[in-house]
Chain A
Amino acid sequence: QSALTQPASVSGSPGQSITISCTGTSGDVDKYNLVSWYQQYPGKAPKLIVYDVNKQPSGVSNRFSGSKSGNTASLTISGLQAEDEAEYFCCSYAGYATWVFGGGTKVTVL
């Protein structure tokens, strides 16, 4: 069970859209529509922002959207704002009642 692969960093200017990829395998991301995304500020606990590939928890901005194609899931942040500067982690169900996370992507707002 290996960690999902995310780019170490992604940057964009305010107002732009950015996309973070999360690559897994045929045994996790590709097999199950159970990908979630978390936002984490330094020194804070992660916060759920997308679940079941493309669903949003109540109270989360609709500027965050998720999608999946094959073994790669993606998180898009539209209308990038300064407050979006944080680290983002993906997570997928990996079968046999286990879960696997990505290594995290640091988003910088230029």
Chain B
Amino acid sequence: QPQLQESGPGMVKPSETLSLTCSVSGGSITETSYNWVWIRQPPGKGLEWIGRVYLSGQTDSSPSLKSRVSISVDTSRNNFSLKLRSVTAADSAVYYCVRTYATSIHAFDIWGQGAMVTVSS
């Protein structure tokens, strides 16, 4: 069972770019059965799907965040990353990196522990 671990700054200033990396251990990110996802959860609120990256580097993202989101995969480092531009206080949340199946099971089965990111000057 692979493990996922988010890393990155815990605080970002308004209008700047939030950057997080998810390191995958105990398994290869190049395993073709899986895609890789970012999900966030503002304090005390529900979950929000941010986007997904495929091994090919192709991405899908939430329509509400599409203009500000970039997700990429680095197979040499066995990790994938999230960049969210022009952040505001509304982007303060716990950010989870998550594994999902490419085809067979349509759900998010392995989650990182989450990284709290606060947007504040």
Q: In the complex, what residue of chain B is closest to A102 when comparing beta carbons?
A: B46
Chain B nearest CB from A65 CB (Å) reads 15
Q: B112 contacts which chain A residues (CB < 8 A)?
A: 45
Contact A98 B45 (CB under 8 A): no
Contact among A52, A96, A97, A101 for B47, CB-based, below 8 A:
A101
- How big is the A interface, by class? 20 to 34
Main secondary structure on B side of the interface with A: loop
Contact A3 B46 (CB under 8 A): yes
Contact A103 B105 (CB under 8 A): no
**A7 lies within 8 A of chain B by Cβ:** no
Given known A36-B107, A45-B111, A57-B109, contact A1–B46 (CB-CB < 8 A): no
Contact B111 A98 (CB under 8 A): no
Q: A98 contacts which chain B residues (CB < 8 A)?
A: 49, 60-63
Q: In the complex, what residue of chain B is closest to A52 when comparing beta carbons?
A: B106
**A104 lies within 8 A of chain B by Cβ:** yes
Measured CA separation A16–B109 after assembly (Å) = 28
Contact B46 A104 (CB under 8 A): yes
Given known A101-B48, A102-B46, contact A36–B108 (CB-CB < 8 A): yes
Measured CA separation A40–B34 after assembly (Å) = 23
Q: A46 contacts which chain B residues (CB < 8 A)?
A: 47, 96, 108, 111
Contact A51 B49 (CB under 8 A): no
Q: A57 contacts which chain B residues (CB < 8 A)?
A: 107, 109
Q: In the complex, what residue of chain A is closest to B108 when comparing beta carbons?
A: A48
Chain B nearest CB from A3 CB (Å) reads 6
Contact pattern, B 21-32, Cβ under 8 Å of A = 1, otherwise 0: 000000000000
Given known A46-B47, A89-B46, A103-B46, contact A51–B96 (CB-CB < 8 A): no
Measured CA separation A101–B108 after assembly (Å) = 12
Q: In the complex, what residue of chain A is closest to B94 when comparing beta carbons?
A: A45
Residues of A whose CB lies within 8 Å of any CB of B are 1, 3, 34, 36, 38, 44-48, 51-52, 55, 57, 89, 91, 93, 96-104
CB pairs A–B below 8 angstroms (13 shown): A1-B64, A3-B46, A36-B108, A45-B113, A48-B109, A52-B106, A57-B107, A96-B60, A97-B60, A98-B62, A103-B45, A104-B45, A104-B47
